[in-house]
Amino acid sequence: MSVNVRDVAALAAVSVGTVSNVMNHPDKVSPITVARVQDAIKSLGFVRNDAARQLRAGHSTSLGLVVLDAANPFFAELARGAENRAMEEGFTVLVGNSDEKPEREALYLDLFEEQRVHGVLIAPFGDAIPRLEQLKARGTPAVLVDRGVDHPGFSSVSVDDEAGGYLAAEHLLSIGRRRLAFVGGSMQLRQVVDRLAGAQRAVAEVAGASLEVIETDSLTVRAGREAGDDIRNRAAADRPDAIFAANDLLAMGLLQALMKNATVSVPGDIALIGYDDIAFAEAAVVPLSSIRQPSELIGYTAVQLLLREAEDGADFVHEQVLFQPELIVRESTGGRAS
């Protein structure tokens, strides 16, 4: 049925080794032969079998990437950055969506391991470190993205979430708000915990300021809407006067829910700031203040580190890259329209 190197070799009247060389080391083959083999390939419609190639090579030319939510533009951009860098080196990126579920995360890691991927990028949920240790022990390096590690055994590329949380809360305080709320979850996500910690630090510095913590089950528009409904249904006096949402999806959901029936005005009654600065934040009902992260750069850099580690092997020095977040002020916290 399918055409293989042997068929090509026969038609071009050369050996299989030569066909292989034409595809992988054309400089080792005379130009005339190259041409003849390529003609044969074309006329037979030969497509090389990657499985056989991989089997021999011992590992694939793919990288695995596990994200928390593929529908979140932040991760879409991160993935794009990763893909770009990978493609420059001839690698492919397989994207798996954990949906913040440990079992799905595990499933993709298993899959990637069976595929003998060159390495794994992961935005981990909960404590995936033991599993990653296992991978590493079997020769598959891993880099954590969007999440720092104290663990010296792994490289990571992330943004200083504590600093970002501080920036956000400090900004809310600077515009005179005192009864802040933090909306986010799950608390299994380090990003969320760190952003909250930063916010708490900022609040502690200002006398009379408080920070209520409203935990959500995920970082989605839906979860934001639910939290927003709860807040809207409170007596006006019990509502916070500012909300820091752990990401922009939550913030968008909050925004929709709060403004329903014109119950709450943003930023009048409640100032709102998100996190990630996704493209849609600027186009929101009330353009959303946010904390910008270099999403594409994170992916790009992570692949860089991963490939270096795969190359250098055991004597690779793990690196913890930490980018700094940036405050973007828009109308949702009283900034002028852009």
Partner DNA sequence: GATCTATAATGAATCGATTCAACCCGCCGA
Partner DNA sequence: TCGGCGGGTTGAATCGATTCATTATAGATC
Binding site for a second copy (CB under 8 A): 1-2, 45, 47-52, 54-55, 58, 60, 70-71, 73, 76-77, 79-80, 83, 92, 94-95, 97, 110-111, 113-116, 134, 137-139, 221, 252-253, 255-256, 260, 279-280, 282-287, 338
- Cα 202 off chain centre by: 27
Which of 45, 56, 283, 317: binder of DNA (CB under 7 A)? 56
Q: Which amino acid is at 298?
A: I
Q: State the minimum distance, in angstroms, from the CB of residue 179 to a second copy.
A: 25
Partners of residue 151 on adjacent β-strands: none
Told to check if 261 binds DNA by CB under 7 A, we report no
Told to check if 82 binds DNA by CB under 7 A, we report no
114 versus 315: smaller Cβ distance to DNA: 114
Q: Which range binds DNA by CB under 7 A, 55-63, 213-221, 232-240, 329-337?
A: 55-63
40 versus 66: smaller Cβ distance to DNA: 40
8 versus 82: smaller Cβ distance to DNA: 8
Q: State the minimum distance, in angstroms, from the CB of residue 73 to a second copy.
A: 6
Which secondary-structure segment (H or E) carries 215? strand 210-215
Q: State the minimum distance, in angstroms, from the CB of residue 86 to DNA.
A: 19
d(CA 157, CA 149): 9
44 versus 206: smaller Cβ distance to DNA: 44
Told to check if 32 binds DNA by CB under 7 A, we report yes
Told to check if 58 binds DNA by CB under 7 A, we report yes
Given DNA, a second copy, none, residue 15, with its beta carbon under 5 to 8 Å by kind, binds DNA
Told to check if 48 binds DNA by CB under 7 A, we report yes
d(CA 228, CA 252): 10
d(CA 282, CA 289): 8
Told to check if 26 binds DNA by CB under 7 A, we report no
Q: Is 261 left (phi over 0), alpha (psi -120 to 50) or beta?
A: left
Told to check if 140 binds DNA by CB under 7 A, we report no
SS (H, E, C) 189-200: CHHHHHHHHHHH
Using an 8 Å Cβ cutoff, are 61 and 283 in contact?
no
d(CA 304, CA 21): 29
Q: In what order do the strands lie in the sheet with 119-122?
A: 92-97, 62-67, 119-122, 142-145, 155-159, 320-323
Q: How many CB atoms lie within 10 A of CB 210?
A: 11
DSSP 337: P
d(CA 183, CA 254): 9
Told to check if 43 binds DNA by CB under 7 A, we report no
Given a second copy, DNA, none, residue 16, with its beta carbon under 5 to 8 Å by kind, binds DNA
Beta strands at 320-323 and 155-159: parallel, antiparallel or unpaired: parallel
Given DNA, a second copy, none, residue 32, with its beta carbon under 5 to 8 Å by kind, binds DNA
Given DNA, a second copy, none, residue 233, with its beta carbon under 5 to 8 Å by kind, binds none
* Start-to-end Cα distance in the chain: 62
Contact residues for DNA, defined by CB under 7 A: 2, 4-6, 13-21, 23-25, 28-30, 32-33, 46, 48-49, 52-53, 55-58
